[in-house]
Chain A
Amino acid sequence: MRSGLRAFARTHEARLLAVTVLLFVFLSFATRNFFSIQNGLDLLTSYAFPGMLAAGLVVVIVAGGLDISFTAVASIAQFLAVSAIGRYDLGWAGLCGIAIGSGLLLGLLNAILVTWLRIASIIVTIAMLNVYYGLLMFLSHGNSINTLPGWYIDGLSWVIGADAHGNPYILNMQILGLGLSFLLTWLLLNRTTTGRQLRALGGNPEAAKRVGFSTLRLNMVAYGYMGFTAGLASIVEAQVAGSVVPNMLVGRELDVLAAVVLGGASLLGGIGSVSGTFIGLALLAMVHNGLILLGVSSFWIDCVTGFVFLTAVATIAWERRRQRAAIRRTIVAAA
């Protein structure tokens, strides 16, 4: 047990967690409103959409790929699904089915193109982002859908308690969706054979191929899962926004990537964890929220976020380099 703890203390996640906890404690003392259940719930609600996408993206990155097109996929998924429930009486099943189904299909198309074209996945998915987004804007004429059915606006929520003034704590669809996607990602990466194969593919694609893993199948799992998550996230996003605006989501893909990478996932593939992704997301959310609560002008938030991100990736790179040097020293000593 103790050696397990010591091993954990050396991981990237542990250091990230330490920084996050320090920031948490600091913000709890420095601001009046940070340390409250209500603020926590609000944060989870407003970061549910990027968070769910991050949970999907980490799978693609662990498998050695990169997907940039997911914001367009989510836009298409929510546009199709909400258009459909506006016309026919499909209920939750229809809404979820259409959104998740279309997300999944577009994800699978990405997987086929990435595998077959054999050019960098970032390039393929940038091209597909433009294809998807252009088609959506063309076919929708950029018009948003502002009237959602009542049952959808009401959403699903549970009251789980109340504060001293009787204001209820609400567990809403956003928080549930966030929890669900992180749970699914954890199960996929850590509890299935396919998850191990995805990690193997990302760590060493050539070796994975020689062992006999099908690259196409694994890519279809990774990008398909990303599309699935994008579809799920789009339902949750449209519900909290109360409308579907076709050009609302595109342009946020790099923010999601930032959260995943901050969580320690390596763009070289093979490395990345669910817990790290969640802490990375939490850190970015807390920096953002903390700056507002500290009274920093919202105009400077991008600047601070960029600085935090650069510092973090530089630290990660420095850690990795030291680890590599240590391994090299061990090898030399053994020889």
Chain B
Amino acid sequence: MSAVRGASRPGGLAPVIRRIGVVNSRLTALLLLLVLVFGVVLGNALFNGASIRSMAYQLPELGILSLAMMVPLLSGGLDLSIISTANLVALTVAFLFHALVPHQPGVLWIVMQLVAILAGLALACVIGLVNGLIIARLEVSPILTTLGAMTLVKGISIGLTHGNVVTGFPATMVFIGNGAIAGVPLVMLIFIAVAAVMSVILNHTSFGHLVTMVGSNEEATRYSGVHTKRTLVKVYIASSLLAGIGGLIMMARFNSANAAYGESYLLITILAAVLGGISPSGGFGKVTGLVIALVILQLISTAFNLMNFSQFLTLTIWGGTLIAVAGLGRIRERLRFLQRFN
């Protein structure tokens, strides 16, 4: 029906907006506006190979962690333990690197690195499983469960490392953190792959639909015969697993691991996800929206950096952007409401 109406009014932006969704078109407009403004102000200083490459190196850390936050947000929850999980995974992998991987490159060298990484991700799944079981079975609110898990997991990391930084990884990690294939940073390729997989899972699998259904109305979903508890457990496992991958990326980028890396990212991931159109009360949101939001945040951060503004002003602008986008949405809503009654 709507497709027909769209076709009967040729021209204009309406069909495009319908195709990519209201939120995404608004975000794209904002992105284009920023590109235009920063392009005029900074010109080649911002849009040259080196700057774009540095953005491509920086974005994936926050990007994968935001994906980890996105999945529980879609289900109407929240995961505050992602950063501490990322750090514990990085520390575990770092420890296993030291314990297992031989100094000489060879078959065993490769196999043992894989074993270490897989063990780290398995640990992430266990943390997610515990979170999920407490949330789904004991019906503790997600904020509280993951708040407790955050403290507990960080506590384990601090207890084991005494807060020290762990360094000295095999050359593979340095390559993952700083290498590029055909000019594209490897971390960026990993992020694109993870985002694509998540997009497919959330939009084209039954699990993805169940997540958004649980987020929209858990009760109704349960009455329609869905095992919502099992879905919730999977949501938190997915979140922790993504956090673990984020931890590996951070570890490769910093070439070290620590119990307290990236803590300022925690609230920023929520900001990025909500800016990307993921409803904080659950049910709605797309990976593409999140990716556009991440590009916007990164663009602001890099541009401000080039203009020699304090990195803290970037935080202000990030927060302000979210408030402004939400405010514009409200104003449009009011206008439409007024139009209907006039």
Interface residues of A (CB under 8 A from B): 68, 113, 116-120, 122-124, 126-131, 133-138, 141-142, 251, 254, 257-258, 261, 267-268, 297, 299-307, 309-310, 313-314, 316-318, 321
Q: How far is the CA of A126 from the CA of B143 in the complex (A)?
A: 14
Query: What are 7 pairs between A and B in contact, CB < 8 Å?
Result: A119-B280, A122-B280, A123-B270, A138-B310, A141-B310, A305-B155, A306-B155
Q: B312: shortest Cβ distance to chain A, in Å?
A: 4
Inside 8 A of B314's CB, which chain A residues have their CB? 134
**Which residue, A120, A122, A126, A301, has most C-beta atoms of chain B within 10 A?**
A126
Select A258's contact among B138, B139, B145, B147, beta carbons within 8 Å: B147
Q: How far is the CA of A99 from the CA of B323 in the complex (A)?
A: 25
Inside 8 A of B313's CB, which chain A residues have their CB? 134-135, 138
Contact in complex: A134, B319 (CB < 8 Å)? yes
Contact in complex: B323, A302 (CB < 8 Å)? no
B271 adjacent to chain A (CB < 8 Å):
yes
B330 adjacent to chain A (CB < 8 Å):
yes
The contact string, 1 if C-beta is below 8 Å from chain A, for chain B 125-156, is 00000000010001111011101111111111
Contact in complex: A310, B145 (CB < 8 Å)? yes
- Chain A contact residues: over half helix, strand or loop, or mixed? helix
Interface residues of B (CB under 8 A from A): 78, 80, 134, 138-141, 143-145, 147-156, 158-159, 162-163, 263, 267-268, 270-271, 274, 280-281, 309-310, 312-320, 322-323, 326-327, 330
Contact in complex: A133, B322 (CB < 8 Å)? no
**Which residue, A116, A126, A127, A317, has most C-beta atoms of chain B within 10 A?**
A127
Q: How far is the CA of A252 from the CA of B306 in the complex (A)?
A: 31
Contact in complex: A251, B138 (CB < 8 Å)? no
Select A123's contact among B138, B139, B263, B280, beta carbons within 8 Å: B280
Inside 8 A of B145's CB, which chain A residues have their CB? 310, 313
Contact in complex: B316, A306 (CB < 8 Å)? no
- Chain A's closest residue to B318 (CB) is A130
Contact in complex: A254, B323 (CB < 8 Å)? no
Q: B261: shortest Cβ distance to chain A, in Å?
A: 14
Contact in complex: B330, A318 (CB < 8 Å)? no
Select A127's contact among B148, B149, B162, B319, beta carbons within 8 Å: B319
Contact in complex: B148, A306 (CB < 8 Å)? yes
Contact in complex: A314, B263 (CB < 8 Å)? no
Q: How far is the CA of A120 from the CA of B318 in the complex (A)?
A: 17
Contact in complex: B152, A306 (CB < 8 Å)? yes
Given contacts A119-B326, A314-B134, contact A130 B315 (CB under 8 A): yes
Q: How far is the CA of A129 from the CA of B143 in the complex (A)?
A: 18
Inside 8 A of A297's CB, which chain B residues have their CB? 159
Given contacts A130-B319, A134-B312, contact A310 B155 (CB under 8 A): no
Given contacts A120-B280, A321-B139, contact A304 B147 (CB under 8 A): no
Given contacts A123-B322, A306-B148, contact A299 B330 (CB under 8 A): no
Select B140's contact among A128, A130, A131, A313, beta carbons within 8 Å: A313
Select A130's contact among B154, B267, B281, B310, beta carbons within 8 Å: B267
Q: How far is the CA of A108 from the CA of B79 in the complex (A)?
A: 28
Q: A74: shortest Cβ distance to chain B, in Å?
A: 17
Select B151's contact among A128, A130, A306, beta carbons within 8 Å: A306
Q: How far is the CA of A130 from the CA of B271 in the complex (A)?
A: 10
Inside 8 A of A127's CB, which chain B residues have their CB? 271, 318-320, 322-323
- Chain B's closest residue to A247 (CB) is B312
Inside 8 A of B78's CB, which chain A residues have their CB? 122
Contact in complex: A300, B312 (CB < 8 Å)? no
Given A130-B267, A313-B144, 17 additional A-B pairs, CB 8 A: A116-B327, A119-B280, A120-B281, A127-B320, A128-B319, A134-B315, A135-B316, A258-B148, A258-B151, A303-B158, A303-B159, A304-B155, A307-B152, A309-B151, A314-B134, A317-B140, A317-B141
Q: How far is the CA of A305 from the CA of B149 in the complex (A)?
A: 10
Contact in complex: B156, A303 (CB < 8 Å)? yes
Inside 8 A of A122's CB, which chain B residues have their CB? 78, 143, 270, 280
Contact in complex: B150, A123 (CB < 8 Å)? no
Q: A61: shortest Cβ distance to chain B, in Å?
A: 11
Contact in complex: B315, A133 (CB < 8 Å)? yes
Q: How far is the CA of A45 from the CA of B148 in the complex (A)?
A: 25
Select A251's contact among B263, B309, B326, B330, beta carbons within 8 Å: B263
Q: How far is the CA of A307 from the CA of B154 in the complex (A)?
A: 11
Q: How far is the CA of A317 from the CA of B137 in the complex (A)?
A: 10
Inside 8 A of B268's CB, which chain A residues have their CB? 130
Select A310's contact among B143, B152, B316, B322, beta carbons within 8 Å: B152
Contact in complex: A123, B310 (CB < 8 Å)? no
Q: A318: shortest Cβ distance to chain B, in Å?
A: 6
Contact in complex: B158, A313 (CB < 8 Å)? no
Contact in complex: B312, A309 (CB < 8 Å)? no
Q: B104: shortest Cβ distance to chain A, in Å?
A: 35
Contact in complex: B140, A305 (CB < 8 Å)? no
Select A313's contact among B148, B154, B156, B320, beta carbons within 8 Å: B148
Inside 8 A of B162's CB, which chain A residues have their CB? 299
Contact in complex: A314, B138 (CB < 8 Å)? yes
Given contacts A113-B323, A303-B156, contact A317 B138 (CB under 8 A): yes
Q: B297: shortest Cβ distance to chain A, in Å?
A: 11
Select A267's contact among B144, B151, B159, B330, beta carbons within 8 Å: B144
Inside 8 A of A124's CB, which chain B residues have their CB? 323, 326
Contact in complex: B280, A306 (CB < 8 Å)? no
Contact in complex: B158, A302 (CB < 8 Å)? yes
Q: How far is the CA of A307 from the CA of B110 in the complex (A)?
A: 37
Q: A140: shortest Cβ distance to chain B, in Å?
A: 9
Q: How far is the CA of A318 from the CA of B326 in the complex (A)?
A: 36
Select A302's contact among B80, B155, B271, B309, beta carbons within 8 Å: B155
**Which residue, A130, A313, A317, has most C-beta atoms of chain B within 10 A?**
A130
Q: How far is the CA of A137 from the CA of B312 in the complex (A)?
A: 6
Q: How far is the CA of A251 from the CA of B80 in the complex (A)?
A: 13
Q: How far is the CA of A124 from the CA of B154 in the complex (A)?
A: 26
The 7 closest A-B CB pairs, nearest first, are A303-B155, A306-B152, A302-B155, A134-B316, A306-B151, A134-B315, A130-B319
Select A131's contact among B141, B156, B316, beta carbons within 8 Å: B316
